[in-house]
């Protein structure tokens, strides 16, 4: 890769940071000042340098983008679902970036009613995201949310579906959802703290009074009433409606603890009642069915969770009775209730299983899934009264398929399979699961996919992806976009490192807090295993991670830079200690139980030992592409900006360090399905250019 231009060198303005008797010098702390002219100038210089250094790959980016887009069925639609008298459909039209949402009284017969044309709504906006929407019980109104900045601060609005008019009603700074009372008059919604963006309050609004007051020139806020406020800064609050529609629930949770409050949806002016008071370390989730609440919880040391139930009149945990016992090898992930059956979704040995049980005779059976690495999940079921359940299945080689399963005769049929244009043949690809041995002897699974038809022998260029935080499992799902790598000879691998829940809740617990180093060590040994077994070599190996996965990449290239030719870090969380010491930054206080609280000395030194920004040292780093969004509310832009500036000072090898800031986007990147492809194309072009193009 040609390297003529001089990279930007950010000025060092050392700031001394002191805590626990320890002194840190941060030469680039000045970048934390959003909108400062010096900061904007530096980001602009980095973007210009990125453009110069990747000018020779622009044609490859365009080629990748065009082939990715060409595989997509642009005029597509979802499988319709039925709710409260209507069938709902999401549809994309040829050439359009955003979806249309429609509904019908009688599927395929009644005229369609347009709820939203997001393409029309997004006109004139560089970023536009339609969040959640919820139709009122009387089917006349729909409350919806919009983010026009990409900072996940949604504004609520209401549309009259009879007239098509958006009402004169707005609530700003919400997480994006709201719930209706049964009389379709009152809305319940959460509000975010404007600085920390932590959801702290739940409000009740008399919609029509608010509109009337505004029309009369009076204060519409008088129609809004605060019904709950969370004072513990480590907790976030949210509001939802039970699937039965009978209850409004306020949930509040930290990483380790949860609590619910509930109210009958047909008594919207009543007071919320605590379901069961929070107990530190006890998580629970509730669902309502007929005369019981069902509780999925880790209470009483049920590490992989169990299901309990209780009568509607006795919700405190002292009354809960066992319904599905805890199993040490099965992580319960979902519990779905129907009139005739219930479905338990759990993960065992890394693989998802779904067990269907009859209420009538308690007979049960598993849905048949095949393969050693796949993804399966329950579909959306707003109605209890059905003999047909839906589930989704895909694998690294099989496109996503929606199945319908008949609970009566136990037969299934395919409702929809993702269409992949361009001559895709699943027989040309192979997937498998292999196991690497980590430093402490732990076996770490790796899911792999590659093209087998026409494959050349010998080590291949390989992209190793990892995340490893929050108990989030990276599923081995199908991606038509990924074919652009596989068809160029790349192997794609997912390292299911500790910190996720791929092998159950203990897998998560052994990759967080004082065990966080296991996440990085696992990834390093996955890379070594792939090299040692001849699947790739260090000169062809790329690492990729985003957000908390960017922390993973930052730590790994500090600790074992020699293993990788290139790395991509997307919106990376890399300035761990400084960020977690600032409780005004979004997501900080709520994550003390994930990373630790550096206000405590033990946590501080442990986090400092792996913090990618703090541990940058003079050594030869892999080629690096770092991407961020200026409006990112999850990981502030200055974390990757400071990291890149420090890497430029300490990188002892003339390898690339490229940094691009999308000035119109946030944590999730560009809005619009085609714009998102352009971002993937630039990442792929970077890796292909550096690690070779093994065309098949």
Q: Which residues are catalytic?
A: 547, 632, 667
What whole-number distance in Å separates Cα of residue 250 and Cα of residue 21? 42
CA angle 84, 335, 369 (to 5 degrees): 105
Query: What is the C-alpha to C-alpha distance for residues 442 and 445, in angstroms, rounded to an integer?
Result: 10
Q: Which residue has the tokens 């017969």?
A: 109
Query: CA 300 to CA 293: how far, in whole Å?
Result: 18
Q: What is the DSSP string of 381-429?
A: ---S--SEEEEEEE-SSS--EEEEEETTT--EEEEEE--BTTT--GGGE
Residue 46 in contact with residue 8, Cβ under 8 Å? Answer: yes
Task: Please provide residue 624's backbone torsions phi and psi, each rounded to the nearest 5 degrees.
Answer: -135, 135
**How is residue 38 written in tokens?**
């010096």
Kindly report the CA angle at 413 between 409 and 414, in degrees rounded to 5? Answer: 160
Nearest alpha carbon to residue 287 among 326, 253, 244, 323: 244
What is the rounded distance in angstroms from the CA atom of residue 179 to the CA atom of residue 243?
12
CB 498 within 8 A of CB 533: no
Task: Classify 67 as helix, strand or coil.
Answer: helix
CA distance 605 to 117: 51
CA 28 to CA 23: how far, in whole Å?
15
Measure the CA dihedral 364/368/371/375, to 10°: -80
Question: What is the C-alpha separation between 183 and 160, in angstroms, rounded?
Answer: 15
Rounded to whole angstroms, the Cα distance separating 493 from 464 reads 5
Task: For the chain, give percent helix, strand, coil, nearest 5.
Answer: 25, 35, 45
Burial class (CB in 10 A: 0-12, 13-18, 19+), 271: exposed
Residue with tokens 């049964």: 182
Q: In what order do the strands lie in the sheet with 154-160?
A: 129-135, 141-147, 154-160, 171-174
What are the structure tokens assigned to 406, written together?
């008949």
Closest by Cα among 270, 115, 261, 81 to 181 = 270
**β-pairing, 306-311 with 321-324?**
antiparallel
């Amino acid at each position: 890769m040609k390297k003529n231009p001089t990279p930007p060198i950010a000025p060092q303005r050392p700031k001394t940071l002191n805590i626990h008797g320890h002194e840190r010098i941060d030469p680039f702390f000045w970048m934390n000042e959003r909108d400062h002219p010096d900061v904007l100038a530096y980001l602009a210089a980095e973007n210009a340098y990125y453009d110069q250094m990747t000018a020779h790959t622009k044609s490859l980016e365009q080629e990748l983008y065009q082939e990715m887009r060409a595989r997509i069925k642009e005029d597509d639609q979802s499988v319709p679902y039925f709710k409260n008298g209507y069938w709902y459909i999401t549809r994309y039209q040829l050439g359009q970036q955003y979806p249309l949402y429609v509904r019908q009284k009688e599927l395929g017969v009644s005229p369609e009613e347009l709820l939203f044309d997001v393409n029309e709504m997004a006109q004139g906006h560089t970023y536009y995201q339609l969040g959640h929407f919820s139709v009122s019980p009387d089917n006349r109104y729909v409350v919806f949310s919009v983010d026009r900045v990409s900072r996940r601060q949604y504004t609520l609005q209401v549309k009259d579906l009879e007239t098509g008019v958006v009402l004169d009603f707005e609530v700003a700074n919400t997480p994006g959802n709201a719930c209706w009372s049964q009389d379709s008059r009152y809305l319940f919604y959460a509000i975010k703290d404007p600085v920390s963006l932590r959801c702290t309050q739940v409000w009740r609004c008399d919609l029509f009074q608010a509109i009337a007051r505004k029309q009369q020139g009076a204060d519409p806020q008088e129609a809004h009433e605060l019904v709950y406020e969370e004072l513990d800064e480590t907790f976030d609050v949210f509001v939802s409606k039970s699937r039965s529609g009978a209850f409004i629930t306020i949930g509040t949770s930290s990483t380790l603890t949860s609590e619910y409050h509930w109210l009958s949806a047909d008594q919207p002016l009543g007071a919320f009642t605590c379901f069961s008071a929070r107990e530190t370390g006890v998580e629970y989730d509730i669902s309502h069915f007929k005369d019981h609440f069902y509780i999925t919880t880790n209470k009483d040391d049920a590490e992989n969770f169990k299901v309990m139930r209780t009568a509607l009149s006795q919700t405190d945990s002292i009354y809960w009775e066992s319904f599905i016992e805890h199993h040490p090898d099965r992580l319960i992930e979902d519990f779905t209730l129907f009139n005739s059956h219930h479905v338990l979704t759990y993960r065992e040995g890394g693989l998802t299983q779904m067990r269907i049980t009859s209420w009538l005779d308690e007979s049960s059976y598993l849905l048949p899934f095949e393969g050693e690495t796949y993804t399966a999940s329950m579909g959306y079921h707003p109605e209890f009264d059905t003999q047909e359940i839906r589930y989704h299945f895909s694998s690294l080689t099989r496109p996503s398929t929606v199945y319908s399963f008949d609970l009566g005769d136990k037969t299934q049929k395919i409702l929809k399979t993702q269409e992949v244009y361009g001559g895709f043949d699943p027989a040309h690809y192979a997937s498998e699961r292999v196991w690497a041995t980590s430093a402490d002897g732990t076996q770490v699974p790796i899911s792999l996919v590659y093209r087998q038809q026409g494959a050349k022998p010998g080590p291949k260029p390989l992209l190793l992806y990892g995340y490893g935080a929050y108990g989030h499992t990276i599923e081995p799902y199908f991606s038509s976009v990924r074919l652009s790598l596989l068809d160029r000879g790349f192997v794609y691998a997912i390292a299911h490192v500790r910190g996720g829940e791929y092998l159950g809740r203990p897998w998560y617990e052994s990759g967080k807090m004082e065990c966080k180093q296991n996440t990085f060590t696992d990834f390093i040994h996955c890379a070594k295993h792939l090299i040692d077994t001849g699947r790739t070599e260090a000169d062809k190996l790329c690492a990729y991670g985003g957000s908390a996965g960017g922390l993973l990449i930052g730590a790994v290239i500090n600790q074992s830079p020699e293993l990788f030719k290139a790395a991509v870090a997307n919106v990376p969380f890399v300035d761990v200690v400084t960020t977690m010491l600032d409780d005004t930054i979004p997501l900080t206080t709520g994550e003390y139980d994930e990373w630790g609280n550096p206000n405590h000395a033990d946590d501080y030194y442990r986090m400092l030992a792996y913090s990618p920004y703090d541990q940058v040292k003079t050594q030869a780093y892999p080629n690096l592409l770092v991407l961020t969004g200026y409006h990112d509310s999850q990981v502030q832009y200055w974390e990757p900006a400071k990291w890149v500036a420090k890497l430029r000072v300490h990188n002892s090898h003339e390898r690339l360090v490229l940094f691009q800031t999308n000035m119109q986007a946030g944590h999730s990147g560009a809005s619009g399905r085609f714009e998102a492809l352009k971002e993937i194309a630039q990442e792929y072009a970077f890796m292909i250019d550096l690690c070779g193009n093994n065309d098949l």
